[in-house]
Amino acid sequence: MKSNKLLIGILAGFAGGLLAGVLLAPEKGCDMRQNILDRGDDYAGTLKENFNKFIDKFSEKYSNTVNNADQIIAEGKSKYAGIVSEGKDKYNEAKSEVENVIA
């Protein structure tokens, strides 16, 4: 949600700046168009850099989350195996005691 608002804000700021630049510019039309193209390239480059940074951070956080989940799952499986083993041992002990009492 925040990234959508950020993107809309960036685009609105870009459009507003472009409109203000066209309306208030004291330059010739061809110079103005060249400046607009140059600024557009600058904004596109900045947007691309920010997007790449966002993707890098997202990828890193995703990888960390997956690694943490794998670790938690492995710990859970280990604890489960220990509990099952302990339960089997207790069962076998109880079974032996019952067999000794019956015999």
> Which pLDDT score, from 0 to 100, does residue 1 have?
61
pLDDT in tens, the chain (103 residues): 677 788 888 888 888 887 887 777 676 777 877 888 888 899 899 999 999 999 999 999 999 999 999 999 999 999 999 999 999 999 999 888 888 888 6
- CA pair distance 4, 7, nearest whole angstrom: 5
- pTM for the predicted model, two decimal places: 0.47
The alpha helices in the chain, defined as continuous H runs, are 2-24, 29-102
